[in-house]
Chain A
């Protein structure tokens, strides 16, 4: 059985490396051009080249999003860009434009073509259509239910990629231009203002209704469907969130990685495995989640109404830069406030969650003792009685 790919987003070179280190088999990133997620699209060709080489050394892959729905002026320089991606050995582009696909086949033949979820592909026939036009992988619309995925998988040999985690458009992707009309920002070219999450007043037959109307969607969390998706032979499980923090990526990727590995190892996952992953993910961000369409059309529970808690947690306090085994001292880069006496938990790609109490904080530059760590990115030395590895992370336990 081919092992499923865990595919993660990354908004910067640092995040992409974290994603691959924490268990992603591939990352998708935006270049400077042709990519949605405008703010997250900060990879120039030099970064992309470095990332491709980093990933390939680990036997992992890099996909570049070219998923805007382009207007004429956006297509300038397309051939050069495709050739450059090909030359630096990017594995695939994720695209929604038939013209971009045609040009890629012509000028960058070794780039694989993945069809973006922007095209809202929902059927085996839709997959056939794009496959005949050179697409090797289709990212399914998030509107496809698990039952429908099962039917589709019986009828296709094309690689299928399925979203399993993260934010969801409440519209069919590519079919929403609320943001264009309400804010003049083009949702299909990286400018979505998340208008689906705003409050609206509803009028019924012209009469104003007393309570706000909402159309937004909770985030997707598909942990419990992973075994079924693996059984069905889905090629890739995708996490959404190119704008997310390194900490979020590390936690979410690691949680899915553990679950996938547990399933391959044991042939099943327990309720306890699922609960553990869910609790872990809860430590990264407090966004409300749902099953999306996996169990059928989302009912009331799938929507976002008045009750929102969408703030990233402040648990994440530091990133391990180095660890000296002879002195048991870790060099930590500060990410959020913490102090002597706090109970903290270290974790990493191979380090299980391990707790301890901070009994001393030393400023790396001045070598002075500190009671609190309150400067972002400050380098600090902390005594840690168990072995750490670069890129492990630390978070607070009780906040």
Chain B
């Protein structure tokens, strides 16, 4: 199985020799990340991964704002001197930059909420190396998408993912409103007053994000989706020990061992098809 695994720690490079590649997080570029790789260590990390014949993926999923474009431009010039194989990105600002710098063939489009049908995915495939399928589809829809798109796709198969992302500093603002000490570095989670699930939240330089109430987990389902695809595993909110075991289970396809690791799993919306409602609602947009 082709696994693309978030690089939680440098020491894991030599432990995960069977995975196809590692996702590296970098300040100024990444969003929804676990650990950042210091810029000064990047070259060495890339070299090490390539020595093992594995690929380097960079998390470039930040939403950019106008006053960040010069920095992005300069950062990309530095990165292009290194041998990064692919970039996960979600803001088309990044695509335009890549266009100017001629590396769109290395781009993998990923907005978890957008790529929800095979026709939009096919449009994006024409312009990108590949696409990550949305996590907001049911398993039947996911199967349908992978069947209809005849190219390998990237599929998020394990890990917490964001279900809300605000540019606002929603932890700081709350603490100021309540006149309590401002502290954004502790671990926070929220529980809706009528529900029981705990949703981790986090504030950083990209704003505030709410994550799913457990580690999303495709397991036996992968067999039905086909082994041509790339399966993405992320490490956020997972202890290193557990993460090592998880990657091992995916490598060996021993999914029945997952329950032996004490973490909260969820199937997200895989079997709870979200509905288009006719009666009420509507996000606060057009």
Contacts and interface: CB of A to CB of B under 8 A. Distances in A.
Interface stretch (B13-21, B41-49, B190-198, B246-254): B190-198
Contacts of A28: 286
Contact of B190 (A185, A188, A200): A200
A320 B174 CA distance: 46
A126 B96 contact: yes
A188 B116 CA distance: 10
Given A205-B187, A298-B173, A169 B91 contact: no
Contacts of A72: 117-119, 141, 144-145, 148
B123 A102 contact: yes
B114 to A, nearest CB: 6
B281 A166 contact: no
A101 to B, nearest CB: 8
A215 B166 contact: yes
Given A39-B281, A176-B163, A180-B274, A129 B95 contact: yes
Interface stretch (A271-279, A299-307, A321-329): A299-307
Interface in B131-162: 136-137, 141, 144-145, 148, 162
Chain B, interface residues (CB within 8 Å), range: 35 or more
Given A123-B93, A151-B67, A203-B190, A190 B282 contact: yes
Contact of B282 (A39, A74, A139): A39
Contacts, number: 275
A104 interface: no
Interface of B: 63-67, 69, 91-93, 95-97, 111, 113-114, 116-120, 122-124, 136-137, 141, 144-145, 148, 162-170, 173-174, 176-178, 183, 186-193, 195, 198, 207-208, 210, 212-213, 268-269, 272-286
Interface of A: 9, 28, 36-40, 65, 67-72, 74-75, 94, 96-99, 102, 116-118, 120-126, 128-130, 139, 143-144, 147-148, 151-152, 166-182, 184-196, 198-206, 211-215, 217, 238, 240, 242-243, 293, 297-300, 302-303, 305
18 contacts: A36-B286, A37-B281, A70-B120, A72-B141, A99-B123, A122-B91, A126-B91, A180-B136, A184-B275, A187-B283, A191-B281, A191-B282, A199-B193, A201-B190, A202-B174, A217-B284, A242-B282, A299-B176
